[in-house]
Chains A and B, each alone.
Chain A
Amino acid sequence: EAQVTQNPRYLITVTGKKLTVTCSQNMNHEYMSWYRQDPGLGLRQIYYSMNVEVTDKGDVPEGYKVSRKEKRNFPLILESPSPNQTSLYFCASSFHPQALPDTQYFGPGTRLTVL
């Protein structure tokens, strides 16, 4: 089944404790992206990746890191989480954005709480 998976689905952590949220897709998509969703603000793009070893900042990259060592995986790293990073996080992938913007397939989301 074609899908985007994220782990963990729920996470409660404390300020300053490094964490990684994993994202994996099995559709051989080149483009992957991370979003955070906060009430009243919609989804905001954190980072995106056009292909392996190619990443770039979205609108809200501060406090986050990403890597794309393999085509299927795009982990989101919070080196020193803070309470303002409490949010619902979505990973998404699409086939090839160089042509017309492509359909994005979203993972189920990760609800993160930073105390």
Chain B
Amino acid sequence: GQQVMQIPQYQHVQEGEDFTTYCNSSTTLSNIQWYKQRPGGHPVFLIQLVKSGEVKKQKRLTFQFGEAKKNSSLHITATQTTDVGTYFCVINSGGYQKVTFGTGTKLQVIP
């Protein structure tokens, strides 16, 4: 099936610093979703991107879909301790029924 690489695997930042995680695919994607999983919790949907070059913002979070629809990024401005967790990009294949998660980026925010 389709594969997606997510980097970095881990990131430690001081509270107030920015954070970015990247998702890369070797094939053109129809869409990409981002989920967040808090420690001990379950994945929670954040956003979906569909259009080439699309940029969406949610408060301090900025999501971008590459022009070629092969990569995506999630940027957090001025991290807070509430941002702690693992961020996953998710792609769909097989008519949207099959789902592939990226390996995730675990964010730790140091107060």
Contacts and interface: CB of A to CB of B under 8 A. Distances in A.
Contacts of A50: 97
Contacts of A105: 45
B88 to A, nearest CB: 6
Contacts of B97: 31, 48, 50, 56, 97
Given A40-B103, A43-B88, A59-B1, A90 B42 contact: yes
Contacts of A45: 98-101
Interface in A21-76: 31, 33, 35, 40-45, 48, 50, 56, 58-59
Given A40-B103, A45-B98, A104 B1 contact: no
A59 B100 contact: yes
Contacts of A101: 31, 33, 48, 92, 96, 99
B50 interface: yes
A81 interface: no
Interface residues of B, number: 25
Interface in A60-115: 90, 92, 97-98, 100-101, 103-109
B58 to A, nearest CB: 14
B99 A48 contact: yes
Contacts, number: 65
A9 B96 CA distance: 29
A17 to B, nearest CB: 26
Contacts of B103: 40-42
A59 B97 CA distance: 12
Contacts of B101: 35, 42-45
Contact of A42 (B92, B98, B102): B102
Interface of A: 31, 33, 35, 40-45, 48, 50, 56, 58-59, 90, 92, 97-98, 100-101, 103-109
